[in-house]
Homo-oligomer: A and B are copies of this chain.
Amino acid sequence: MNVIIVGASGYSGAELARLVASHPKLILAGIFVSEQSLDQGKALSDLYPQYTGLIDLPLQPLNSSALQFIAQHADYVCLCTEHKVSVDLAPQFLEMGKRVFDLSGGFRLSSDEDYQRYYGFSHSQPELLAQAAYGLAEWNAHAIAKAQLVAVAGCYPTAALNALKPLVNAGLVSDFPIIINAVSGVSGAGRKANIATGFCEVSLKAYGLFNHRHSPEIARYLNHDVLFTPHLGNFPRGILETIYVHLKEGVSSEQVTDAYQCLAQEPLIRLLGDKIPSINGVVNQAFVDIGWQQQGNMLIVMSAIDNLLKGAAGQALQCMNIAMGLPAHFTLVGGQHD
């Protein structure tokens, strides 16, 4: 399949370009940036020296000739663009008959009201919200396989939902909001000139209390109330979530362990039991590491991912694999392609 990536200069886009370029069933047919971008004309390896000799494709402006090229040559269009840009671009590519994989939050929530509240803009394509399949590979493969438009899951929700859906689905969780204390590496903030993510400025701190965009996304797909508090951490990649779950009265540790068995065969999920996940354990890998410990009816679940490689780009590749009828984890487990 021919894949093009719009917004390939950012961290998610570049990571996805790498994954596509080394995938035996995909061809990286083009990488694009906005017409305003100062990066147009540069090779991706000018921005990311690690790709020198591996991906030397130039970043091209998404102008009308680019659109023509895409119309003729692309099968899959990946949007690594700002939320609002994705919302505006997706219909064009859908009309061309392309399958669209959107890595932004532009199609993850269910209503324009939610977009006004959490994203600060009115959604211009509300009718597409119902059509988009939520791109959480381990949980929604059937819908992803058929969908023309996939709203690839957010990075924080990827870590949270894989850790919590087994418990909620098994009916083990009481009505209290689940408290999710999350810390993300700086790449989660994207690649842009910004004092706040400057080397001398970054320092562990919370942000987005009570109103982060991933809060309604998690709640929607979990079917449970959550209190989600993200933090910026002083490391480049990775997410660690420490999650406080009030179990229903009398839930045993066996019930908890049993609930997680639904994930036991998932190649990208590693169930650590009472061992404790860490950022180092997952960075540069596409795994979700999940560990848990219980005392009485309080369960602490810890979930770790690489925000770019299981979140964002990795999740998008899983969705493309599913769309092609391949195993979702294809090429994502180190070195074992066959």
A residues in contact (CB < 8 Å) with B? 11, 18, 21-23, 49-50, 52-54, 177, 179, 181, 183, 185-187, 191-195, 197-207, 209-210, 227, 229, 231, 233-238, 240, 242, 244, 270, 272, 275-285, 287, 289, 293, 295, 298, 300, 302, 331, 333-337
Contact = CB atoms under 8 A, between A and B. Distances in A.
Given A242-B206, A242-B231, A281 B49 contact: yes
B191 A278 contact: no
A330 to B, nearest CB: 12
Contacts of A335: 21-23, 331, 337
Contacts of A293: 209-210
A50 B282 contact: yes
Copies of this protein, total: 4
Given A186-B199, A198-B193, A278 B49 contact: yes
Q: Which of A204, A242, A279, A298 has the most CB of B within 10 A?
A: A204
6 contacts: A22-B334, A177-B298, A179-B179, A198-B199, A204-B240, A234-B235
A291 to B, nearest CB: 9
Given A197-B198, A229-B242, A203 B278 contact: yes
A311 to B, nearest CB: 15
Closest 6 CB pairs of A and B: A22-B335, A49-B281, A203-B280, A205-B278, A193-B193, A186-B199
A108 B327 CA distance: 47
B198 A194 contact: yes
Contacts of A177: 298
Contacts of A187: 200
Contacts of A287: 52-53
Given A186-B200, A280-B49, A337 B334 contact: no
A210 B281 contact: no
